[in-house]
Amino acid sequence: MVDDPAVVRVLLDGQSRLGAKIKSFQHRVDNGLGSGKDDLVVIGEADAGADAESLQPMCIMLTEVSAGGEADRCGLKVGDRLVLVDDTPVESFTDYRQVLRMLRDSRPLNLTFVVQPDSVGSYEVVPKVTKSQQIFDRQQNVLFLSDRTRLEEEAFHGVCERLRPVYWRILLNYLPVDKSKWKDVLKEKRELYQVYKKEFLKFGISSDDGSSRPSRLKGQGWWEFDDDKRKSMTQQKVLAQKTAASCGEDGVASAHPLELSSASPPKPPLSEEEQKLHQHDVELRETIWKDVQRTHPGFHFFADARCDIMERILFIFAKLNPGIEYVQGMNEVVAPILFVFGNPTLDGEKKKPELGGQGLDMEEFMFDEHYEVDTFFCFCNLMGELRDLYMQGMDSDHEGIRGRGLALMKHLKDVDPAVYQHLTELEINPQYFALRWLTTLLSREMMLPDTVRLWDSLFADPKRFTFLLYVCCSMISLQRENILASDFSGCLQILQKYPPTDLHQILLLAEDLQLGNVVFESTKSPQELLKSLASSTTDFLRSKFLS
């Protein structure tokens, strides 16, 4: 008779490390021909401080324990299972890298292991790509079903990077779910965008003037560019054009002035109204350029070429929507879409994704002028759903920023009455933090990769951003201990500069809040809540591993 497995808890704090190697295993169903033990398939291996492929583990085991390390001092041995990272069950992680990042970076970190002799059983090594390829094939197959509900369900839990550009185009209502209609839709939209460019880019800063702008990589913004330098560069450009015009094919200046008269006649001067429009457009594009240059400055992807694209998109949108025009924060909305739709062709490479299964045709998405167009229309569709948040006249409307802020606080009151009461007593208006959270879909609060993953779920929300309110509630409740212990300024510091938090935890709690599975008890202090969580964790372990 095998003894019941014991539970071992390890606390990593400061600079301490686990001192062990781990593997991620997947259970294989016993076909009756094996030894009777659980067969396990190795789907990943890594040092506790390393990185790994994106995997979906069923369990994580120790495969090597260093003598004298923390794991060894706690009595852990090869074969013991890691079951909880803080209060999160390992099996609920959808990305093996999340566990590794927490082991490497998160301190303090509570790890819970189950000691289970002979737990490894028999196993065989399987290529790491197998699991991710299975996910890819499944998500690609959903695209061919022409079933939006299935597509939303699949996207809600995260989309493969290679398929995300297609999923987002559908979820943002740019492409229909019926793939047979894509070609016609893309042709129509791309022709329309060329019309917009021809119409709205004739005044203001032309695309050719981008060279006169300083590179963001040199640390100078358009608004810092000296007027004298600009005038000097303009004069040099005009002089160079005149010199080129007066030269023959051999580069020698022409001796016949009449030859210069064959050039195109000068354009007539602008009318007073056209001059005002021109000046307005110049000022508008400079305003946009200031914000665009400050968007994700640490990402090489957003170098000058992509900044130019974002500026054109935002400028054309502003011209098409004079009621809103351009508002700061729109740059934070368009950037993730461009990032997802972007591809290496701007850098001179042309890489076509390797697609399996039914072979999704991605040819239409492989050209830079096309992904600019698609980004524009997806951004317009998204802004069509967010526009009330950007319009001052809608502040009092339930769909305006004030109304959405009140809706957020109502949700918070339902799921976490103690935090709601504390913020209310401190007279912290939701607009103090919710304005930025809601208008940018939390893109300012998270790193870009986390924003992209979050937006998978937000775009898949059939109620359109109801889930966003629960995500916001989740973020607040995950900081409830700090919030309940803080005064007015302390709470604002937390909410306006939200601390780095594992996105998986945020989404997991948000989904439970939306389903009504979690309600924080208003009568409990943070300390009592933590004790109850610890107790429930122990009960969970006993029911799952000791029964």
Could you state, in chain order, the average pLDDT of each consecutive group of 10 residues for the chain (547 residues)? 67 86 62 41 42 50 87 88 87 76 86 72 47 85 92 94 93 94 92 94 54 46 41 48 46 40 61 83 94 90 89 96 93 96 55 47 56 95 91 64 92 94 95 93 95 97 90 96 96 95 94 86 49 50 45
Model pLDDT, residue 362: 56
Please, what is the Cα angle at 471 between 475 and 453, to 5 degrees? Answer: 105
Domain spans of the chain?
A: 6-126, 401-542
| pLDDT in the model for residue 462 | 87
Looking at the structure, give the CATH architecture of the domain made up of residues 401-542.
Orthogonal Bundle (1.10)
Q: Of 288, 392, 371, 385, which is closest to residue 332 (Cα–Cα)?
A: 288
Sign of CA dihedral 445, 450, 451, 454: negative
The pLDDT of residue 88 is: 85
pLDDT at position 313, please? Answer: 97
Q: In this predicted structure, what is the pLDDT of residue 482?
A: 95
**pLDDT at residue number 438:** 94
**Three-class DSSP labels, 175-244:** CCCCHHHHHHHHHHHHHHHHHHHHHHCCCCCCHHHHHHCCCHHHCCCHHHCCHHHHHHHHHHHHHHHHHH
Closest residue by Cα to residue 94 from 150, 24, 145? 24
> What is the model's pLDDT at position 275?
83
Decide: 316 and 197 in contact? Cβ < 8 Å.
Answer: yes
| Verdict on whether the full-model pTM lies above 0.85 | no
Query: What pLDDT is attached to residue 224?
Result: 38
Q: So what's the architecture of 6-126 in CATH? A: Roll (2.30)
pLDDT at 104: 82
